Amino acid sequence: MTLAAATNENLASISNTLIYSAMAVYTLAFFAYIAEWLLGSRSKVGRTAAALTAPAAAQGPAVTARKNGGTTVLERPQVVVRSAAGARDVPDGPGAHGGDEQGDMYGRIAISLTVLAFLVELGGVVARAASVERAPWGNMYEFNITFSTVAVGVYLGLLALKKNVRWLGLFLITSVLLDLGLAVTVLYTASDQLVPALHSYWLYIHVSTAIFCGAVFYVGAVATILYLFKDAYENKLATGGKPGKFANSVLDRLPASASLDKFAYRVNAAVFPLWTFTIIAGAIWAGDAWGRYWGWDPKETWSFITWVAYACYLHARATAGWKGRKAAYLALLAFGCWLFNYYGVNIFVSGKHSYAGV
């Protein structure tokens, strides 16, 4: 092995240390998010949603009077169920946007810790790349740590753009910790060089876009799952039901279901063209590496299935007017295809993409 191809074990060790350190900081951020949700007051959106979706019988005896000839007719105002966010497209959050100082304080601490953990994890990814002087996504372990880094980066990027998505933080960081736990235990692979077939500039283009698309699809999937819970909660309120303590303490602080539905749709729609490019780039790379652009390899097949699933979701939203639960189920099915394309195909199915081990 030449010096250029050797693995720098010191940098590889530093990478591992940084990843574990990032997990520790993410854990602190997790507890800060928990404190924000438990100790902060209900958000404006949560309070407004509860009021707007309450049944008419719960609105009290308020009536209005009008003259119908010589008779006075008493009318009860109609209750309009709509998005609590009104005309705003940006969801609200549990702490700062609820006007609660204590919740805002814990929320700011959580964001600060998330930023710190993101930077530490990013350092771990960079150190991993430097240890072998290549892109840090040659196997599932490297893909996982890069994927979780990008997912958190997308979340922080939305916050930097003044999008009020702090409600996403608790659920995102929880799953990021699970993802990293899986990476450092089951999927861990020692730092090593790539097989010759992967030594191509297309590795930087194709895999980097796949990671980014997966991270954005993931953010959309989290919002979709939260939408389903919030929609069920609002429907229960609208029909006079009494949600339990968990629903009142957690779901009531989420943005209105209509806002969550719109957010998920816009996120998925924004990244879908890049996913299309990812598949095209992979086909071009396959032509260079294997002498054919498309051969229905399992990875190629499931990438295409994922594309079709998201295309059906976007088409149904745009033409058939699908909104709400039907569209949400289709979006989760599409993300499930993406997950199987990564985990299922890599672990359980053999093909031309089975070159980097786990």
pLDDT in tens, 95-111: 434 444 555 788 889 99
| Whole-number Å distance between alpha carbons of 305 and 310 | 9
Of 131-135, 189-193, 236-240, 264-268, minimum mean pLDDT range: 189-193
Higher pLDDT, 346 or 257: 257
pLDDT at 91 over 50: no
If DSSP codes are grouped into helix, strand and coil, which group holds residue 315? helix
Q: What pLDDT digit, counting tens, does each position of 46-88 carry?
A: 444 444 444 443 444 444 444 455 554 444 443 333 333 333 4
Is the confidence at residue 324, as pLDDT, over 60? yes
196-227: pLDDT as tens digits? 666 677 788 888 899 999 999 999 999 999 99
From 218, 212, 195, 191, select the one nearest 125 (Cα to Cα): 191
> Is residue 72 domain-resident?
no
Predicted local distance difference test score (pLDDT) of residue 121: 96
Query: How much is the pLDDT for 30?
Result: 95
Do residues 118 and 107 touch, judged by C-beta distance below 8 A? no
- pLDDT, mean over the chain: 78
Q: How much is the average pLDDT of 139-148?
A: 90
Statement: residue 44 has pLDDT above 90: no
Q: Domain total for the chain? A: 1
Number of separate helices (H) and strands (E) present in the chain: 12, 2
Q: Please check whether residue 327 is in contact with residue 265, taking contact to mean a CB–CB distance below 8 angstroms.
A: yes
State how far the Cα of 313 lies from the Cα of 336, in Å rounded to an integer.
Answer: 13
Query: What percent of the chain clears pLDDT 90, i.e. is strictly above it?
Result: 37
- 69 in a domain, yes or no? no
Assign 72 to helix, strand or coil: strand
Of 53 and 275, more confident: 275
pLDDT beyond 80 at 335: yes
pLDDT (0 to 100) of residue 358: 54
Angle between helices 208-238 and 140-160 in degrees, nearest 10: 60
pTM for this prediction: 0.78
H or E segment at 144?
helix 140-160
Residue 248 domain flag:
yes
State yes or no: pLDDT of 1 exceeds 70: no
Would you say residue 78 lies in a domain? no
Confidence band of 285 (pLDDT split at 50, 70, 90): confident
Decide if 261 is inside a domain. yes
In a domain, 356, yes or no: no
Range in 70-84, 138-152, 212-226, 287-301 with the lowest mean pLDDT:
70-84
Confidence at residue 332, expressed as pLDDT on a 0 to 100 scale: 95
What confidence score (pLDDT) does residue 135 get? Answer: 82
Mean pLDDT of 169-197: 85
- The answer to whether residue 293 scores a pLDDT higher than 50 is yes
User: What share of the chain in percent tops pLDDT 70?
Assistant: 75
Contacts of 138 (CB under 8 A, 6+ apart): 132, 192, 194, 198, 356
Q: What is the pLDDT of residue 300?
A: 86
Which one is predicted more confidently, 14 or 322? 14
Structure tokens that stand for 317 in this block = 């939203």
Q: Is the pLDDT of residue 272 over 90?
A: yes
In a domain, 18, yes or no: yes
pLDDT, average across residues 176-192: 89
Examine residue 208 and state whether it is found in any structural domain, yes or no.
yes
Parent domain of 124: 9-59+91-348
3-state SS string for 15-41: HHHHHHHHHHHHHHHHHHHHHHHHHCC
> Rounded to a whole number, what is the distance in angstroms from the first to the last CA of the chain?
23
